């Protein structure tokens, strides 16, 4: 008998072991459901292997090297040398520790792990192809399925990642050396995080962006703080230019760009990093056999429980239409899907979804902006606290940026927040909790915050919205 003839059954089949899939599988198993998790590449998905974790490890190292070499004002004189091979070993060690941990956690919770590529046979079964040619296949029948196949990097015409001079974010994170000159195509969050990192590691970085600013999904005053700092780091930014091609040159490569009016420019580099976004992986699973249709961009529509049009098949993470491509969103959707399958009363609530950008300085946002609050019919009360007035920010040597809170003028309910400044990715958690718990401005303002901390700026922003701030002028 060939292995392919054997069909096994499971209550919940999860396809893809990224932060969406492995979290969903663990939670489903915790609910007492027989759960099987299929992964074709590496446990931990994009986030742990090629995204969030390696990028943050690289960012931390680059920050450390840069800080140490730029602390003369504090009386510290150092000229750090970055050993890329050692740095890579350390980063890879962090990744291995975490991915190994995911595998162990899955096993400890009783999740059956299967390595292979899943394709739908019909709406109750998948075929799993193991490894390469001749490695066999098996059929798994399921009561419920959670699709968590994530996303892949978008390639633009003329920039084939097969060329060693053309980097995807994954190539950049695995770099063996720091290029002297790096052109980054795309000023979104991945492009700006990596531009900042390589600038701090010593590259001359040029960013080309088709739109008229970096970080286009953030408010202009938030993006401005990051842009100004990027300029100080020597990052050369060009707006209104689309990358049109590249060619080899005696000393490296030449990247050409074009404006809407057809004006061309050329930039010399050793590598070009293309970071223009990611697209959902939904075209390789034969979804049609299960009766599921992706939209024209490849995303899958789901309801509040993350159910697709086929009731017993769920979709979570980067493949879902209308939610941001973020690891913590994928995980939360995984929890919701698993608990819904188990019959728990849950639903995905998009009111307090935080997002962070690990640029210098960082950005942290949650909930509504002032404009979105107005559009939703609220009269927004705005409170803002500049980090320049924060004692703790000044003692860290990083006092750019601000905390802004958006609340409903009538009720005082906190609707959203935007933070740009030191540790914004950590500080935003307090305001996500505030929204989640239905806190009012008074609740945050009356909470005693430790001194001296950056978190005091959150309290002061709430006080500022109430006209009661002590360390900044009230509006
Ligand atoms: C450079 C970079 C930095 C990032 N930084 C952050 C950050 O700081 N914070 C943040 O929140 N997000 C960040 N992200 C985004 C984050 O990585 C994704 O949002 C997250 O990984 C999505 O999780 P997921 O489970 O939906 O998919 P993925 O993590 O992509 O996992 C999907 C898994 O499914 C597997 N798979 C696909 N098809 C099949 C199949 N047919 N059969 C079996 N297995 C299959 C894949 O191999 C993969 O392992 C970053 C991304 C990148 C690229």
CATH number at residue 185: 3.50.50.60
Phi, psi of 346 (to 5 degrees): -130, 165
Peptide bond into 361 cis (omega under 30): yes
Same domain, 141 and 284: yes
- Residue ending a domain, among 342, 367, 382, is 342
Same domain, 261 and 323: no
- Mark the ranges of the chain whose per-residue pLDDT is less than 70: 1-5, 132-133
**Ligand 1: does its nearest atom lie under 6 Å from the Cβ of 150?**
yes
Same domain, 373 and 422: yes
- Residue ending a domain, among 321, 342, 363, is 342
Can you tell me the distance from the alpha carbon of 143 to that of 7, in angstroms, rounded to the nearest whole number? Answer: 14
Q: Which residues are catalytic?
A: 451
Tens of pLDDT, residues 401-460: 999 999 999 999 999 999 999 999 999 999 999 999 999 999 999 999 999 999 999 999
Ligand 1 atom closest to the CA of 325, numbered from 1: 19
157 CA distance to ligand 1 middle (Å): 23
Same domain, 269 and 284: no
- Which among 13, 14, 15, 16 is the best mutation to test ligand 1's pocket, defined by most ligand atoms within 8 Å of the CB? 16
Angle at 140 between CA 134 and CA 142, to 5 degrees: 160
Phi, psi of 313 (to 5 degrees): -115, 125
**Ligand 1: does its nearest atom lie under 6 Å from the Cβ of 54?**
no
Number of domain units in the chain: 3
Same domain, 14 and 118: yes
Can you tell me the distance from the alpha carbon of 360 to that of 397, in angstroms, rounded to the nearest whole number? Answer: 13
Phi, psi of 125 (to 5 degrees): -155, 150
Residue minimizing CA distance to atom 45 of ligand 1: 16
How far out from the chain centre does Cα 287 lie? 26
Same domain, 84 and 21: yes
- Pair 284, 118: CB distance under 8 Å: no
In a domain, 33, yes or no: yes
The DSSP secondary-structure symbol of 320 reads B
Same domain, 144 and 189: no
What is the sign, positive or negative, of the torsion defined by CA atoms of 16, 17, 21, 24? positive
- Residue ending a domain, among 276, 301, 333, is 276
pLDDT at 135: 79
Same domain, 12 and 146: yes
Listing DSSP states for 388-414 in one string gives GG-HHHHHHT----EEEEEEETTT-BE
Same domain, 37 and 122: yes
384 CA distance to ligand 1 middle (Å): 34
All residues at 6 or more sequence positions from 174 whose CB lies less than 8 Å from its CB, including other chains: 54, 88
Q: Does pTM top 0.75 for this prediction?
A: yes
- Pair 438, 452: CB distance under 8 Å: no
- Pair 168, 277: CB distance under 8 Å: no
Listing DSSP states for 198-260 in one string gives HHHHT-EEEEEESSSSSSTTS-HHHHHHHHHHHHHTT-EEEES-EEEEEEEETTEEEEEEE-T
Same domain, 394 and 423: yes
Question: What is the extent of the structural domain holding 270?
Answer: 166-276
Same domain, 290 and 241: no
Q: What ranges make up the beta strands (E) of 318-375?
A: 355-357, 362-367
Can you tell me the distance from the alpha carbon of 195 to that of 360, in angstroms, rounded to the nearest whole number? Answer: 10
pLDDT at 251: 86
């Amino acid at each position: 008998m060939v292995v392919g003839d054997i069909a096994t059954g499971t209550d919940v089949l999860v396809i893809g072991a990224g932060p969406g899939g492995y979290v969903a599988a663990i939670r489903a198993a915790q609910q007492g459901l027989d759960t099987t998790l299929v992964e074709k590449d590496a446990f931990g998905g994009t986030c742990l292997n090629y995204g969030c974790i390696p990028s943050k490890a690289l960012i931390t190292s680059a920050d450390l090297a840069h800080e140490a070499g730029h602390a003369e004002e504090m009386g510290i004189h150092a000229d750090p040398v970055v050993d890329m091979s050692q740095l890579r070993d350390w980063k890879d060690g962090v990744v291995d520790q975490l991915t190994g941990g995911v595998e162990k956690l899955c096993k400890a919770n009783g999740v059956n792990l299967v390595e292979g590529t899943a394709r739908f046979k019909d709406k109750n079964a998948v075929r799993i192809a193991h490894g390469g040619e001749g490695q066999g296949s098996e059929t798994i029948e399921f009561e419920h399925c959670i699709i968590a196949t994530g996303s892949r990097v978008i390639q633009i015409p003329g920039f084939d990642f097969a060329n060693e001079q053309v980097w995807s974010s994954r190539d950049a994170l695995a770099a063996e050396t720091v290029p002297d000159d790096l052109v980054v195509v795309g000023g979104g969050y991945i492009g700006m995080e990596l531009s900042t990192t390589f600038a701090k590691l010593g590259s001359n970085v040029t960013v080309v962006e088709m739109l008229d600013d970096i970080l286009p999904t953030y408010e202009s005053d938030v993006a401005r703080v990051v842009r100004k700092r990027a300029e100080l780091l020597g990052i050369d930014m060009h707006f209104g230019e689309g990358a049109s091609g590249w060619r080899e040159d005696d000393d490296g490569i030449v990247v050409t760009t074009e404006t809407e009016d057809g004006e061309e420019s050329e930039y010399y580099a050793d590598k070009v990093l293309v970071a223009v976004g990611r697209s959902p992986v939904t075209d390789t699973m034969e979804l049609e056999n299960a009766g599921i249709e992706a939209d024209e961009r490849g995303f899958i529509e789901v309801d509040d429980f993350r159910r697709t049009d086929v009731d017993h098949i769920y979709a979570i993470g980067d493949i879902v239409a209308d939610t941001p491509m973020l690891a913590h969103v994928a995980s939360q959707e995984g929890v919701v899907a698993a608990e819904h399958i188990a019959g728990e009363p849950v639903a995905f609530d998009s009111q307090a979804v935080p997002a962070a950008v690990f640029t210098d300085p960082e950005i942290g946002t949650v909930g509504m902006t002032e404009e979105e609050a107005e559009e939703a019919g609220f009269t927004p009360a705005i409170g803002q606290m500049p980090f320049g007035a924060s004692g703790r920010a000044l003692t860290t040597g990083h006092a750019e940026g601000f905390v802004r809170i958006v609340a409903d003028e009538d009720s005082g309910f906190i609707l959203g927040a935007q933070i740009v400044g030191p540790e914004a990715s950590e500080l935003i958690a307090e305001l996500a909790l505030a929204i989640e718990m239905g806190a009012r401005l008074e609740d945050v303002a009356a909470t005693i915050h430790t001194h001296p901390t950056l978190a005091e700026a959150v309290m002061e922003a709430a006080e500022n919205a109430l006209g009661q701030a002590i360390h900044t002028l009230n509006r």
